[in-house]
Chains A and B, each alone.
Chain A
Amino acid sequence: MDLKGWDNLGRNLDDKLHLQFKGLIEYLANPTLVNGRTWSNSLQTDVAAAIGVNSPGQVRTIKRVLEQMGIINTSSLNQRTVPTAASVITSLGEVLLALVSIEERLAEISSHSPQVRKSIETMYESFYVKALIHYYYPDGARKSDSDKPFHPLQATIKALHKYHSLDKWEWYLLNTYVLENDNPAQERQLDESIQLYRSRQVNLSMENVIENEKGHQYYPQYLSLSGLVTFQKSGRGWERMELGRKYTDVINCILDKNFTHCFFNSQPVQVNEGNELHEDEQEEAVEI
């Protein structure tokens, strides 16, 4: 049985990305640095140097993650208009910016209060709940197999609600068969494959994963940060995920049969800039 992960953006959500986002906004807030340029290769190269990444390609990847999380406005960085911090950042992005600034300030004054640390982590968690509600694949969960817009959180929560938990291989089965939200035929395929796996009629390992073999790392990492899904860890990785208990009300909204209809109707038309993700624009995935 072949397994495939959903596409990923090749970017971890971590302190590094938070600081890169802050660096991007600070750069755009300075008209002298932007110097009347639109989102050209020249501006991307300078932003790359300012935020400490190697290439404009990595800046584009960071931009895409931030857009898909609702942290910066979609297509606000384009080749037609000169960007400013205000035109790019969303209200959710302002929350992240404030959080990063507070963290930096606390580090400067050497404040190590465990209570403050815990409070900041909780704040990040609620921030990522909101970000993951925004997050979706506009061009398909796996471009090689589908071009339909896809909301991975809804598909994940629906599967976890039905199956109570998913182990790593069941997660790959979900990624392999479910590429559209609320597609009965795909959900039936998932159901059959999970029955086969749970009745031990098939054995699965990483050798079965033939595409997007980091599929068990990037998106589960995002889920873990939000607390919407909790993970049972095993060694350096995880072995089982289940629905978190802190955000039942949000989860119930996502399980609502009208959720995906409302979500996709609310999305702006995407401007395809034709920037494909290259291997060198990805970074090594961090285990949960």
Chain B
Amino acid sequence: MNDVNPLVTANELADKTIVENATKLINLLGVKSRVEQPSLIQEGSGAYNVGTTINSRNKWIEVLKVDEFNMVSGAIEWTPLKTRFSNMLPQKDEYVLPFLEKDLICKGVYKISADVTENGSTLLIQLELESEFSQPVKLPDLLANQGLSTDLKTALMNEEE
């Protein structure tokens, strides 16, 4: 008598395939667990893509501020800035995250390309920020921005120090 139940084995094989394919899909969509972040900043064409994470359960958004950028290696040093949002996920064009970088102002989220999972794990999204080379924004002007959270303002002030 064969001890192996072919129905159980067939179901296990099918489950394994579902998990493998789901994992591929999830990786393709960029879903990572909290411990696997942060993503690296990448150079984009005409805009700098900034690695960000949003956590829907704890309601915070994290943006990596570029400290030193190298055209060969990309971002060499960066600082995570974290801010909270109230009860809704930020929608396209809704959030303005002024962003201080030497000779570079990034402002205005204009593309959110993915969403956040609901089970507490986070989905890495690419916030593409409009960028332009101009004079740096003065810190007082930035702190006066009504759209900035207290956390982000504190983080910026700490940066300034």
Indicate with 1 or 0, residue by residue over B1-21, a CB within 8 angstroms of chain A CB atoms. Answer: 010011111110111011011
Interface of chain B: mostly helix, strand, loop or mixed: helix
Residues of A within 8 A of B15 (CB): 130
20 interchain pairs (CB within 8 A)?
A: A95-B18, A102-B25, A102-B29, A111-B113, A116-B25, A116-B28, A116-B29, A119-B21, A119-B24, A119-B28, A122-B21, A129-B14, A133-B7, A133-B10, A250-B13, A253-B7, A256-B2, A258-B2, A258-B5, A262-B8
Q: B115 near A: Cβ within 8 Å?
A: yes
Residues of B within 8 A of A258 (CB): 2, 5-6
Give the bracket for the number of chain A residues in contact with chain B. Answer: 20 to 34
Q: Establish whether residues B6 and A253, one from each chain, have CB atoms under 8 Å apart when the complex forms.
A: yes
How many residues on the B side are at the interface (Cβ–Cβ under 8 A)? 25
CA distance A105 to B18 in the complex (A): 20
Residues of B within 8 A of A116 (CB): 25, 28-29
Indicate with 1 or 0, residue by residue over A82-114, a CB within 8 angstroms of chain B CB atoms. Answer: 000000000000010010001001000101010
Q: Establish whether residues A256 and B18, one from each chain, have CB atoms under 8 Å apart when the complex forms.
A: no
* Interface residues of A, Cβ cutoff 8 Å to B: 95, 98, 102, 105, 109, 111, 113, 115-116, 119-120, 122-123, 125-127, 129-130, 133, 247, 249-250, 253-254, 256, 258-259, 262-263, 266
CA distance A207 to B45 in the complex (A): 63
Q: Establish whether residues B28 and A115, one from each chain, have CB atoms under 8 Å apart when the complex forms.
A: yes
CB distance from B14 to the nearest CB of A (A): 4
Q: Provided the pairs A109-B114, A258-B5, A262-B6 are in contact, do residues A95 and B14 lie with their beta carbons within 8 angstroms?
A: no
Residues of A within 8 A of B92 (CB): 109
Contact of A123 among B5, B9, B18, B114 (CB under 8 A): B18
